[in-house]
Amino acid sequence: MTTLVLQPTDLAQWHALVAEAQQACDCNLEESLESYLVFLLMRFADRPELARKIMALEFLQAQQT
């Protein structure tokens, strides 16, 4: 996660970030869970209190416990 690569759409951007977080955590989500997470992130991205954290990474780390 050293370089931020911008994608052409919000959906593509969230999908790329979730995929990068999966790789960083050495974790593979099922397609349905990954899709749910991407759309959840898109839905709540406008809430600034949620944007203070790296939510996808925290979610994946929580899945490891």
Residues 6+ apart with CB under 8 A from 4: none
d(CA 14, CA 45): 10
pLDDT of residue 59: 80
Give the structural domain span for 20.
Answer: 10-63
Does 5 reside within a domain?
no
Q: Would the pLDDT of 64 be above 90?
A: no
pLDDT of residue 51: 63
Q: How many domains does the chain have?
A: 1
d(CA 41, CA 11): 9
pLDDT of residue 16: 93
pLDDT of residue 12: 93
User: pLDDT tens-digit profile of 1-60?
Assistant: 567 788 999 899 999 999 999 999 999 999 999 999 999 888 887 776 766 777 778 888
